[in-house]
């Protein structure tokens, strides 16, 4: 069991209980990565709207991943979780 910290609220939870967003090492694409098979820089978020909105509003995902977050992915995060 590995624990990760939410980039928005700082809460530490089991990795399985969080949204993982990864910037692929090879192509530099930013993807939602539930299976953990992709190598790259990752961030974790709680499955709640306030954490997702806080991370997007303060550009925390962009800063940590050092990449642009596609609008499509932002929409997916806000609508699916």
pLDDT in tens, 26-67: 889 999 987 767 889 999 999 999 999 999 999 999 999 999
Name the residue with higher pLDDT: 61 or 1: 61
pTM across the whole model:
0.89
Distance (Å, whole) CA 62 – CA 37: 21
Task: State residue 35's pLDDT score.
Answer: 74
Return the closest-CA partner of residue 44 out of 8, 78, 16, 20: 20
* The CATH number of domain 3-80 is 3.30.360.10: no
C-beta atoms surrounding 36 within 10 Å:
12
Can you give the pLDDT at residue 59? 93
**Residue 61, H or E segment:** helix 60-65
């Amino acid at each position: 069991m590995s624990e990760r910290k939410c980039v928005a609220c700082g809460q530490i939870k089991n990795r399985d209980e969080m949204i993982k967003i990864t910037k692929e090492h090879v192509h530099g694409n930013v993807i939602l990565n539930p299976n953990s098979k992709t190598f790259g820089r990752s961030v974790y978020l709680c499955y709640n709207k306030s954490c997702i909105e806080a991370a997007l509003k303060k550009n925390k995902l962009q800063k940590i991943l050092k990449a642009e977050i596609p609008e499509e992915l932002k929409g997916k995060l806000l609508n699916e979780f």
